[in-house]
Amino acid sequence: MALYYNLGEMKSENGEALRYEIEKLLVDISLKISQMIKNEQSYIQLEKILNSRKTLPYFQKTIQSFQGDVYYALRDLCVIRWNLRNGQTLTPEQKVVKIKESGLSHLLVRVWPGDNIKLVFCKDFPKIELKSRMIELAKALAKHCLGKLYGIILKKDFLKYRIGEAMIALQYFDGFDLNRYSDIVWLSKSGIAPKRILVYFEHSESLAKESLDILDNLGIKWIYLKQDTLNRKNSPFWSPSSKELDKFVKKLKFKPRNEIERWLYQTGKQLLREVGYWHLFYKEFNIRVHFVGLEATPKYFAQSIAFDVSPFQGGLLIGKQRSELYNASFFKGQYPNDVYFTWNALSSRYLEDDYNPQVKIVVGYPNDYIFKGKFKEAAKLRTELKSKGVKFIFALFDESHAPDYSISTEMMNGFYLAFLNWLIREKEIGLVIKSKKPFILDGLPQILPILNKAKATGRCIYLENEYGRMPLDAAAVSDMVVSIGYSAMVESAIAGCRGVICDMTCLRSHDFYRWGFEQIIFDDLDRMLVALKKYVKDKESIPNLGDWSPFSDRLDPFMDGRAGERMGVYLRWILEGFDAGFDREKALLEANAKYSLVWGDGKIQGALR
């Protein structure tokens, strides 16, 4: 009999989704392994070369990869344990976890938490997997060669990009449309000259011409770092000198004697290559501030280390909170930023350990500038639904679903069917659906017939062009938000919308359960529906349902529409410090002092280490 496997449906002994148990175990194991490698000669040599406290977290994050062997081994371990706890009779073969033999797997053996569940090395790859890996290697080699060719053909003279002043490098992620999630929410009132910003593109997907036009119109310089992103003739493309890059990699002089040393050596070389790449990038364009949009891969640690090792200049890796932080145990080692802008003190508290951002600055919700405009736009859609006889409107927010996720496909089917059937039964109900990603509903074929039937009533509106849309596009139309995920609800609540979280993962350790269980958060779909139906009939019967107002100052202590301004002015103060000849420590201290003076004490946590 096959093992049951569906991480959303499977619950840990504490009642939470099994996926959370796996994530926590993955973090714990990565920390234990990283402590072991500190005594290995190859790591000691690497640490001497880099002299950065972020070297060890780079290895931790490499181990934590959801596409890595350690994750899959620990996932299989937790699945086996769950089946045993729930009365499944397993054969001896089913009580074994297989992993590819490598230096990392040898390290995992030393801290394996499997008790009577063995970890067994598997040396032989299935033919399909071997073929797949060979194809991936061929593609990687072709891409590398193509990149070299592009570097020769498209290499530009970047003298015009150097202005003699400290520059901000800005990673393209969300885009530049201020009516959607945007990478430049901080710019307009910052007082920073656009010429001091360099946007770089490294995504493989094509870019809309409008994005580049926005940058050109603003006077912001831009550049491509990956050849497969080019979509405009004569676009500026940068790649480092291979000779200079090789100098970094060759600093690690070590001959591996076993599998563990070989893994450390290869990972160390990869780190040095990445550090060298970003060091040369910073040097080429006089980058002193690097503003990134994500934080979940080892690359960002290398970007931060590149500032640490620079003999020419110091700099700061800065990031911002993009969504609600909901699972504190998993955030260890996720954020290599020197400075991190958060929405509130709660988010800063989640990042208090030694492996996360050194300085956390509470700025509020970055997209608060757009609230008034969104409600004005929503009024038209709300009027349209009311004209159809609708008296109560729900905004629905979903989440990605799969057997490997904390939300199962069965859960998402049940969620949507409950509301779609309600709409079809009762003509006074309206729905506005804002899916997180287009493929989420595509993966729910069972609901498509009833969804089309609901749309045909004119009372169910599906907001398309999902990527980059804010939850408020739907929430501002509604009388009540219902969200599977945490972030869409929190963002809506900060804007003043009423709503509840349908937490099918049962993450009862989250603060929201203490704030208002079965008022702002439910862990049972049926009980939530009972409460919602009661509220629709008589709002006074459950007046606190979906009311986040008692907690508004905990979600955003400012609530003034100026979060972007706070971020931008802080960045300007950092640049002014560098312009005055300060090192990064003094530039940061000066900016922090000014921020506290203007916005009050208690908004900054931590210090540069």
**β strands within 271-419, DSSP E:** 287-292, 316-320, 339-342, 359-362, 392-397
380 belongs to a structural domain = yes
Chain segment 582-602, per-residue pLDDT in tens: 999 999 999 999 999 999 988
Confidence of residue 294 (pLDDT cuts 50, 70, 90): confident
How far apart are alpha carbons 26 and 558 in whole angstroms? Answer: 36
pLDDT, position 330: 61
Confidence of residue 208 (pLDDT cuts 50, 70, 90): low
Q: Is the pLDDT of residue 124 over 70?
A: no
Same domain, 340 and 388: no
505 belongs to a structural domain = yes
174 CB burial (10 A radius; 0-12, 13-18, 19+)? middle
How far apart are alpha carbons 116 and 76 in whole angstroms? Answer: 14
Domain final position from 364, 387, 407:
364
pLDDT, position 286: 93
Domain final position from 509, 524, 555:
555
Same domain, 314 and 455: no
82 belongs to a structural domain = no
pLDDT, position 328: 57
Q: Report the pLDDT averaged over residues 127-154.
A: 55
Q: What are phi and psi of 357, to 5 degrees?
A: -50, 140
Between 229-233, 418-422, 457-461, the lowest mean confidence (pLDDT) is in: 229-233
**β strands within 371-518, DSSP E:** 392-397, 429-434, 460-462, 480-483, 499-502
Domain final position from 364, 385, 405:
364
Same domain, 476 and 351: no
Residue predicted with more confidence, 357 or 174? 174
Q: Report the pLDDT averaged over residues 274-281.
A: 95
Number of domains in the chain: 2
How far apart are alpha carbons 473 and 458 in whole angstroms? Answer: 18
Same domain, 439 and 404: yes
3-class secondary structure, 197: strand
Same domain, 360 and 460: no
128 belongs to a structural domain = no
1 belongs to a structural domain = no
Chain segment 146-181, per-residue pLDDT in tens: 555 555 544 555 666 766 789 999 999 998 999 999
Confidence of residue 128 (pLDDT cuts 50, 70, 90): very low
Cα separations in angstroms, 261 against 37, 42, 59, 239, 272: 9, 7, 13, 30, 16
Q: What are phi and psi of 524, to 5 degrees?
A: -145, 120
Local structure of residue 485 (DSSP, 8 states): S
Same domain, 358 and 326: yes
Provide the mean pLDDT of the chain. Answer: 89
Confidence of residue 339 (pLDDT cuts 50, 70, 90): very high
Same domain, 441 and 515: yes
Q: For residue 207, give its domain range.
A: 161-239+286-364
Percent above pLDDT 90 for the chain:
73
Q: Is the pLDDT of residue 102 over 70?
A: yes
The gap from C-alpha 198 to its chain's centroid, in whole angstroms, comes to: 22
13 belongs to a structural domain = no
* Beta pairing class for 197-201 and 221-224: parallel
Chain segment 484-524, per-residue pLDDT in tens: 999 999 999 999 999 999 999 999 999 999 999 999 999 99
Same domain, 480 and 408: yes
Same domain, 533 and 401: yes
Same domain, 421 and 509: yes
pLDDT, position 466: 83
Same domain, 360 and 383: no
How far apart are alpha carbons 75 and 28 in whole angstroms? Answer: 13
Q: Is the pLDDT of residue 603 over 60?
A: yes
124 belongs to a structural domain = no
Strand arrangement, sheet containing 429-434:
460-462, 429-434, 392-397, 480-483, 499-502, 521-522
101 belongs to a structural domain = no
Q: Is the pLDDT of residue 189 over 90?
A: yes
Contact 340, 571 (CB under 8 A): no
Confidence of residue 132 (pLDDT cuts 50, 70, 90): low
What CATH number is associated with residue 538?
A: 3.40.50.2000
Same domain, 234 and 296: yes
pLDDT, position 530: 98
